């Protein structure tokens, strides 16, 4: 099997999303600025292509890694009942998934508690979504439950392996705690 792969830039940022840090930012404007910075995290060659206005192709994902909360049960309840319903109202959202991060085999604590992936058709769709009132409400809600902080990254999907679950979607059972 031959796979064609073109290196694509991956934009990412480690953000301090504590109550104090988020409240000190300009709401969705901070997220819009992150999304608008296409060369963040790119190699110099990738950044040069982006600066030459080479469009990024492929779906774009906003990935949020939530740190370990002070009260996991309260986090889960709030995330399920309040935050996730806010997130899925963001315009242009193709899909949204959430997953509990498992600890490593050596029984050390997991580096994150939960991961969320919001998928958009392209960079323009994500940029438009980032400036929406819905994204502003979602971002403003993070300090209400994310006591362990959060790391936010953006990625362009550049490989889908034939025969993989991403290429042939399957119904996944809903987790018992949902």
Q: Residue 60: helix, strand or coil by DSSP?
A: strand
pLDDT tens-digit series, residues 36-88: 544 444 555 555 555 544 555 789 999 999 999 999 999 999 999 999 999 99
Model pLDDT, residue 50: 53
Nearest of 155, 98, 153 to residue 122 by alpha carbon: 155
The torsion angles phi and psi of 130, rounded to 5 degrees, stand at: -65, -25
Residue 3 falls inside a structural domain: no
Half-sphere exposure for 165 (CA within 13 Å, toward CB): 3
Give yes or no for residue 107 having a pLDDT over 80.
Answer: yes
Residue 173 falls inside a structural domain: no
Separation in Å, CA 106 to CA 11, 63, 78, 102, 109: 30, 25, 30, 11, 9
- What's 39's DSSP letter? T
**Gap between the Cα atoms of 177 and 58, Å rounded:** 33
Look up the CATH number of the domain holding residue 119. 3.30.70.100
Residue 78 falls inside a structural domain: yes
Model pLDDT, residue 161: 74
pLDDT tens-digit series, residues 29-44: 555 555 554 444 455 5
Mean pLDDT of the chain: 75
Residue 33 falls inside a structural domain: yes
Residue 146 falls inside a structural domain: yes
Model pLDDT, residue 37: 43
Residue 75 falls inside a structural domain: yes
Residue 60 falls inside a structural domain: yes
What is the DSSP code string of 67-134? PPPSSHHHHHHHIIIIIHHHHTTSTTEEEEEEEEPPPPTT-PPPS-SEEEEEEESSHHHHHHHHTSHH
Residue 161 falls inside a structural domain: no
Total number of domains constituting the chain: 1
The domain of 33 spans 12-39+56-155
**Gap between the Cα atoms of 8 and 42, Å rounded:** 8
Q: What is the pTM of this model?
A: 0.65
Model pLDDT, residue 162: 74
């Amino acid at each position: 099997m031959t796979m064609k792969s073109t290196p694509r830039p991956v934009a990412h940022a480690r953000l301090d999303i504590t109550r104090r840090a988020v409240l000190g930012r300009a709401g969705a404007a901070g997220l819009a600025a992150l999304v608008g910075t296409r060369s963040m995290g790119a190699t110099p060659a990738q950044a040069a292509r982006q600066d030459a206005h080479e469009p990024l192709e492929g779906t774009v994902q906003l990935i949020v890694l939530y740190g370990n909360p002070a009260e996991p049960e309260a986090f889960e309840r709030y995330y399920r009942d309040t935050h996730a319903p806010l997130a899925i109202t963001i315009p242009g959202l193709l899909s949204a998934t959430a997953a509990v991060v498992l600890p490593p085999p050596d029984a050390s604590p997991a580096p994150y508690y939960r991961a969320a992936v919001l998928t958009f058709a392209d960079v323009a769709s994500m940029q438009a979504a980032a400036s929406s009132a819905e994204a502003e409400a979602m971002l403003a809600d993070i300090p209400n439950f994310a006591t362990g902080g959060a790391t936010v990254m953006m990625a362009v999907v550049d490989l889908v392996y034939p025969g993989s679950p991403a290429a042939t979607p399957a119904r996944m059972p809903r987790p018992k705690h949902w």
